[in-house]
Structure 1
Amino acid sequence: MGPYEIRVAGSAADRAACMTVRHEVFVREQGVPVNLEYDAYDEVAVHVLALGRDGAPLGAGRLLHGEAAAAKAGGDPAVGSLGRLAVARAARGLGVGAALVRGIEEAAAGLGLAAVDLHAQTHALAFYERLGYEAYGAEFLDAGIVHRAMRRKL
């Protein structure tokens, strides 16, 4: 583990920290409209948070499972959906993103899921490939950004 902690966001403060990182990365940096960034899935998702030693939020991601994930993963309830993975600019290059992915995968395995799907921005395909994900299907636009579906069996 690096100079940070990865944990499931179990408190309201942890979930708020996740939303702060997402706002910084997706809304401010990438220009995703606020009404597209936050959705009803946030209420039912497992949120995973990366915190620095000083307690500052460094990154976040979420895992959808059950009916919420099935809507995104082709209707398969055994597949979780990893999404909203964001790492604060100051924490990039420290392994936070990979640690968050592994934390989300651990949460998925703990729920008995067989695989994790995600929709990767195309610039991040190589990152996810290094973590064992395989791309499938055609490129598509989400919030005006080109994405591709990927999956990893657990």
Structure 2
Amino acid sequence: MESVIVKNDQQLKDAFFVRTEVFIKEQNVSPEEEMDHLDQESSHLVIYDGKAPIGAGRLRIVDGYGKLERICVLQNYRSSGVGNLIMEALENEAKKLGASQFMLNAQTQAVPFYEKHGYRVVSGEFLDANIPHVKMVKGQPL
């Protein structure tokens, strides 16, 4: 498996393919909500198994934090380490962009995964795309 910071249109299409499969088809998030205006200002990541895109995420710098977003793995590849690759690659890219602290909005079912990566919950539960989420940080609190 290989993690790639998106540098061309095909890689971006591949990242969007994974997001569409996971968020739109599997979790019933509307396409308008999933593919938002923040895609334009984000760094994108795609994980490949050979030539097949199997995982994705995006990154923005917000208030000095690396904000990890849209982290997703195709169903057949879950629990195979792909999520770990995404986290490592996005955090490394955020560091290159000057961030030393990280934040994300986690689906509540994924909180244990993020806790294993050093994140901690800093908010109550809220809905995003009708899915329960919590805000999590790694580093100093907001």
TM-score (norm 1): 0.88
- Residue 7 (structure 1) shift: 1.4
User: 1:17-96 residue pairs with structure 2 within 5 A?
Assistant: 17-53=14-50, 55-65=51-61, 69=62, 77-96=63-82
- What is residue 110 of structure 1 aligned with on the other side? 96
1:119 paired to 2:105:
yes
Quote the Cα distance in structure 2 between the aligned partners of 1:119 and 1:78: 16
SS of equivalent to 1:47: strand
SS of equivalent to 2:29: coil
- What is residue 73 of structure 1 aligned with on the other side? none
> Cα deviations across residues 40-60 of structure 1 (Å, max 9, x unaligned)?
11011010110002x100100
- Residue 116 (structure 1) shift: 1.1
- What is residue 118 of structure 2 aligned with on the other side? 132
- Residue 114 (structure 1) shift: 2.0
SS of equivalent to 1:148: strand
- Residue 117 (structure 1) shift: 0.6
Quote the Cα distance in structure 2 between the aligned partners of 1:97 and 1:109: 18
User: 5+ unaligned residues in a row in structure 1: which ranges?
Assistant: 70-76
CA RMSD of aligned residues (A): 1.1
How many residues align structurally? 140
> Cα deviations across residues 86-134 of structure 1 (Å, max 9, x unaligned)?
1011211110011101100000000111211100000000000001101
SS of equivalent to 1:138: coil
Within the candidate set 1, 7, 27, 1:10 is matched to: 7
Runs of 4+, deviation exceeding 3 Å: none
Identity %: 36
TM-score (norm 2): 0.96
> Cα deviations across residues 133-154 of structure 1 (Å, max 9, x unaligned)?
0111110000100000001129
Quote the Cα distance in structure 2 between the aligned partners of 1:46 and 1:8: 7
